[in-house]
Amino acid sequence: MCGKPGVKLSQDDISYIIENDIKTIKNQETVLPREFSIQVVQRLTDAGYLAYWAGGCVRDMLLGKEPDDFDVATNATPDQVRELFGKKRTLAVGESFGVIIVLGPKLAGQVEVATFRSEGEYVDGRRPESVAYCTPEEDAHRRDFTINGMFYDPIEEQIHDFVGGQEDLARKIVRAIGDPHDRMSEDKLRLLRAIRFTASLEFELDSITADAVRQMASQIVVVSTERIAQELKKMLAHPQRARAMQLCEELDLLHVILPEVFEHTVGISFDLWTQRLSLLSQIETTSFEVAMAAMLRDVPAPVQTQKHDLTTGTVRGVCQRLKLSNQETKMIDWLVSHRDVFDDFHEWSLADKKRLVVKESFAELLQLERTATMVNQKSLEPPEVVDKFLSETPPERICPPELLDGRQLIELGYKPGPQFQVWLNAVRTAQLNEEITTTGEAIETVRQLSSE
């Protein structure tokens, strides 16, 4: 192993650290992630190892942002890390790749501690065949982008930059470390990560790195759909989602990861694609589902009449291919299938209006459709009609307690069967239309229906 050697600890030393230092941290219920990560670095340093913050937290700190989490890189081996912090306070989730999770107190969360490593050949474009422990400088050169390849010593308050990350931060450039083709070949997901960092940081993508992304775009298919979906979620949940999607299209990734959008939007006209980018840009949301519905707005979303309906080329098909959750799929499909739904809202029955506005995702639908109306420079009357209805109709009128249920029908002597649902739906419709208001009227409605 290269770099500063760790000091050989006696069993008494290890026991002291585990029984005193870890106990102290465990009892510090107010310790926050930053403080805990510094304590982890301090403990490693006190034991004679090198230990630095690494990757995104260094980038964010230098940009004046509070990092979401703090990763630590060290020359201590995974076994040494576990020995130092104790088996009960660590998780060997990536031990074969030199990664150990150190668990902190309640508010502190956890810190990923990775041993400085170099990586062998990437045969499958996703993971290395082998790893070898090495120096911080060698570790930095196997990382993806210069702005993510820096280290920071929070004890000495010193930056260790072996890849020009500080310069690229100042220039607002996302640039691959070394040969971009090599970096992208090692992990094809970096093709999407290059775009995500460029968009979310509002940087520019280095031209040589961009050329590599464009040339290798078709190779993203070797990456699992789950990992692709995770990157898409991060892109679309971010305010700079439109820039991310524009870059995907410009660098030939869009037609690979979302061919349906390419077919039904980009392929129809550039103006339509521009409208969709404007919609993505102007909608104020942090919801991936809402942004994805905006992205898929032109993709067919037919009503699913059978459990095993074919979904190829549809919104539901996109969601299934990306292995989104049932809840995510349901919401995205519902939002797209109700595009332009308010155009004739004023002509609907009172019951239909009420049934729509009580839907779980109605607020998101109204927000999406209102923004689409403004982007497309259409009349604002439809969403205003909905607003007027909501302001004039109290919640107790929109969704009053049901007047009748199946149990009551049985008590009245009716035999359970498929007709129950038909009768109850009819009663509910009459109630929502404010044609009946009492249980007695509901029972009379059923009697009339049952006698037909």
Judged against a pLDDT cut of 60, whether residue 21 lies above it is answered with no
Q: Which residues pair with 205 in a beta bridge?
A: 174
Residue 38: Cβ-neighbour burial (10 angstroms; 0-12, 13-18, 19+):
middle
pLDDT (tens digit per residue) in 299-336:
999 986 555 555 789 999 999 999 999 999 999 999 99
283: left (phi over 0), alpha (psi -120 to 50) or beta: beta
pLDDT (tens digit per residue) in 143-159:
999 999 999 999 999 99
State how far the Cα of 148 lies from the Cα of 126, in Å rounded to an integer. Answer: 18
Helices of type H across 142-287: 165-171, 180-186, 190-200, 207-216, 225-236, 241-250, 254-257, 259-261, 270-282
Whether 34 and 108 have beta carbons less than 8 Å apart is answered as no
What does the pLDDT average to over 185-208? 97
pLDDT at 17: 54
Residue 123: Cβ-neighbour burial (10 angstroms; 0-12, 13-18, 19+):
exposed
Whether 261 and 297 have beta carbons less than 8 Å apart is answered as no
State how far the Cα of 385 lies from the Cα of 433, in Å rounded to an integer. Answer: 18
pTM comes to 0.87
Mean per-residue pLDDT over the chain, rounded: 91
Judged against a pLDDT cut of 60, whether residue 1 lies above it is answered with no
For residues 123 and 297, the model is more confident at 297
pLDDT at 6: 46
pLDDT (tens digit per residue) in 409-429:
999 999 999 999 999 999 999
State how far the Cα of 398 lies from the Cα of 239, in Å rounded to an integer. Answer: 34
Judged against a pLDDT cut of 50, whether residue 4 lies above it is answered with no
Strands (E), 295-399: none
Domains and CATH numbers, the chain: 1-168 (3.30.460.10), 172-257 (1.10.110.30), 273-399 (no CATH), 406-450 (no CATH)
DSSP β-ladder status, 151-153 and 51-54: antiparallel
For residues 191 and 5, the model is more confident at 191
